[in-house]
Structure 1
Amino acid sequence: MAVLAIIGGTGLTQLEGLSLREAVSVDTPYGAPSADILRGDFGGREVLFLARHGHPHRIPPHQVNYRANLWALKQAGAQAVVAVNAVGGIHRAMGSGHLCVPHDLIDYTWGRAATFFEGELEHVTHIDFSYPYDEALRQQLIAALRAEGCDFSSHGVYAATQGPRLETVAEIARLERDGADIVGMTGMPEAALARELELPYACLALVVNPAAGKSSGVITMAEIEQALADGMGKVKAVLQRVLAQA
């Protein structure tokens, strides 16, 4: 299997069970990544791990240096990327604790450094982004989820919003009309930058709360933290199985 990089989101700032070989500090043309890249063994294979929000968890979604993160992973030897994302559930199937391997996304973010192709270019470059997630890598995640007996969806549309605030009821209603099933704040430009670097990329999303208006009460951080605590064990088991099955 290609050297897999795991980008850990909220709730996954450390990869428990990683047998650490080294912490790699990578200088990039785009500044510093969120944290050192941890190289080690996980699930019997070499992996790279990067905490998207830093360690400790301190960088909000709109201030993550996505370009530095992806560039650093590529420089460290990553050949494929699995991103772990905590999300809100829009579709009725996406209850707290549900796992989703999205097949498509809609980008609602703004003002983020979203491409490597800018500045003093020799020519304008456009990437094909029709299908933002690598299908082979998606299928590996799906097979692992099935083998683990998880409650999951093999398809879904990820809405990437700006954050760091959560969305309004009206905004979620709009996202639902647009066809979104889950909502998060870090799916873009991460996926597009991986494509620009020709890194196969897939997302493993853990639903940690119903989106605004999808439950009778307000969304509390206590509920989100509990869902993260309950769900990240499943996420780690799935990642280990992906590596073992490769």
Structure 2
Amino acid sequence: MRRRDRVFAVVDRELRTLLRSRTVVAVAAVFAAVVVGLGGVARGSPGGYVSLTYDLLLPVEVLVPTLAFAYVYRSVRGDDERGELAVIRTYDVSRADYVLGVFVGRTAALLVVVLASLGAAGAVASLGTGPTSSFFATHSAGDTLVVYARFVLFAAVYAVVVAALALAVSAATRTKREALAAAVGVLLAVAVGIDLLLVTLVSADVVGGGAIAGLNGLSPASGFRGLVLELAIRPALAEPPAAATASPVVSALGLLTWVVAALGLATAAVWPDVS
């Protein structure tokens, strides 16, 4: 069997596992209800897509990691508890094949939920939209669907990053209790912990305030936020802030580094290399 076939076999298995889980379906329904509900609240806002993006930025920043961990953190640990991981190891499946298959399968399902929910929220918010305020957009093309489309794209990237971290947690822990504790810890660190650490360092004059834009890319949440503010919202504002809130290059590289490091850890930790 070719490597591609082995990976896709794992992907298919993960998708089937998720579809059979009532918890996963319930979490997806709650996420969609909250996001679409916020889109409904923003319907008719004079700020248009810029205002909608602002309204959804913080909820998505918090809810996407929660959804990602719900989908991924029990993946490897669940296989191990049920004895399925030992069976998988008897087949011609390498650690990299298995981790990649789990990651692709779980992340694909996650992205369907995230993209569908945000797409529905955008559609609902666009109903009955009034004239765009000049405070938000510099010209007729300033507040367009492109603003929201970029936000949705960055939200999808953010979901991929957190899914990789959740997979690393699942592979590196050895019991259900360890997995749950580590998942909660990493989730809090991603959502607020690293950002609070950066603020503390700046407040204590350990790091200069001028460096905060670059440091923001070190956190998955702030990296996502920085990309949205600088590449989605800022170009559409009538009066953009004088100083950049983040460096898009640093944010993009930071998010990529988190994915690579997390998948590398998951591959190394999932089982001993006995080949």
**Would you say same fold, with TM above 0.5?**
no
Q: Which protein is bigger by CA-based radius of gyration?
A: 2
TM-score range, shorter chain: under 0.3
The structure with more strand, counted as a fraction of residues = 1
TM-score, with normalisation over the residues of structure 2? 0.25
The structure with more helix, counted as a fraction of residues = 2
TM-score, with normalisation over the residues of structure 1? 0.27
